[in-house]
Amino acid sequence: MAKRANGDGSITRMTNRDLYHGRVYVTTTSGKVKRISVYGKTRDEVRDKMTELQAQNNQGIPTPDTNAKVEEYLTYWLATVVKVNRRPKTYQGYESVVRVHLVPGLGTKKLRTLRAADVRKWLAGVATACQCCKNEWDKARPKPECCAAGECCETKLSRRMVQSIHAVLRNALENAVREELILRNVAKLVQVPTPDYGTGKGLTVPQARLLLKAASPDRLHALYVLALAMGLRRGELLGLHWAAVDLERGTLIVSSNLQRVDGALQLGPTKTASSLRTLPLPPLVLEALRAHRERQAQERVAAGERWTESGLVFTSRVGTAIEPDNLRRSWYPLRDRLGLSLRFHDLRHTCVTLLLDLGVPPHIVRQIAGHSDIGVTMKVYAHASLDEQRKALGSLSDKLG
């Protein structure tokens, strides 16, 4: 047998396991030439893997030399990439997905050898996994009765949740590709079901007028006016400062967002760069804000020393920020009195829909709503404009008839 040339590598059979072991010298992402091991059930399988590594090496593509597990990498990614570059609420969501889903499911696998088949099989299983058993990942919690009895419930995760889990993994692996820890993002090779988004419910003009009239005695009447007439998000409304409102010039700057993150209320930037916007105040809004400022001044006097000056437009009766989830204490009774079942966020959908119904160009509506893409604007309209569709089809039917 001819002597192998330097760099050709070698293949041996492992005596203690029914596997073949191949070794080949290649340049790694650290810049050093190292001997990399590959394994397979047959000599040909190992030879193919070695040939692939050598071909990549000849093309100048370095081979990742990390032996980190997926859990170790995800911990590093959260701390050095997500926490530094993303908003606190985004980090909180990513951390939860990593801790609850990704680490228990894929954490023990080697990052370098993670395959698309591993991800695909795991996602298919986690979609129907017992949600009670997930509490076992927090060792401080007792074992659920159904799991202790061997009768695990199969509560399916929503398509939206499965998509979120896949998205977090895909983003993490994409960063690993950029850092040359892996050659390709295997999560991109895995398809997940498209989530079913709920259809937004908008109000008609008479319904919107009735709602504003019913809300007029409420101390947060101006908040409902802003939501319906200008389409501000809940966090944008509750994070709005008087310093951003110019009642003389009739303008408003949307630049902050109030959210609860890690158990504390935090005032952060808007949802996206497109959400940062300056809007003119129409007469209806100006009148409501002036009345609200007077009402707040009266509440400041009534609270006395208990008042906390936050500079916010919409506050509690003692000047502190309003917990976003507590807005339902005002919204739910108002909604129920009118016999409505829509969410507070649907007031924003109503604003978008009514503007488009009035013939306002979509790109103007997008700027008012602060949507990141005009496709989002039209998607909201498509969901909520059933009456307009009925009119259009009715007109066509009359022509044809």
Fold of the domain spanning 70-189: DNA polymerase; domain 1 (1.10.150)
Measuring CA to CA, how many Å separate 12 from each of 5, 16, 304? 17, 12, 84
Would you state the pLDDT for residue 385?
Answer: 56
Distance (Å, rounded) from C-alpha 345 to C-alpha 227? Answer: 8
Q: Find out whether 177 and 64 touch, Cβ atoms under 8 Å.
A: no
Tell me the pTM.
0.63
Would you state the pLDDT for residue 140?
Answer: 43
The residues that bridge with 50 in the sheet, in sequence order, are none
Structural tokens at position 254: 């949307």
Measuring CA to CA, how many Å separate 122 from each of 65, 164, 168, 184? 25, 14, 14, 19
Would you state the pLDDT for residue 8?
Answer: 62
Task: Enumerate residue ranges in the chain where pLDDT < 50.
Answer: 1-2, 135-141, 149-152, 199, 384
Distance (Å, rounded) from C-alpha 347 to C-alpha 349? Answer: 5
Superfamily name and number for 205-394: Intergrase catalytic core (1.10.443.10)
SS3 content of the chain, % helix, strand, coil (to 5): 55, 10, 35
Would you state the pLDDT for residue 11?
Answer: 86
The residues that bridge with 390 in the sheet, in sequence order, are none
Would you state the pLDDT for residue 136?
Answer: 41
Distance (Å, rounded) from C-alpha 229 to C-alpha 218? Answer: 17
